[in-house]
Amino acid sequence: MKFTNTLKNSALLLVLGTAAFLPLSTAHAAQPGAYIGMGFGSAHDDILNEDESAFKFYGGVNLSPYIGMELSYVDLGTYANGAFTQDGISYELIGYIPLSPQLDLYGKAGFFNWEVADNFSSNTGTDATFGVGLQAQLQRHVSLRGEYQTFLDVDGGDVDLYSASINLHF
pLDDT tens, position by position, 90-116: 999 999 999 988 899 999 999 999 999
Q: Using an 8 Å Cβ cutoff, are 29 and 136 in contact?
A: yes
With 0-12 CB in 10 A as exposed, 13-18 as middle and 19+ as buried, what is 102? middle
Nearest to 96 by CA among 61, 72, 59: 61
Average pLDDT over residues 146-156: 89
pLDDT digits (tens, 9 = 90+) for 25-51: 445 567 789 999 999 999 999 988 999
Domains delineated in the chain: 2-169 (2.40.160.20)
Sign of the CA dihedral running 152, 163, 133, 166:
negative
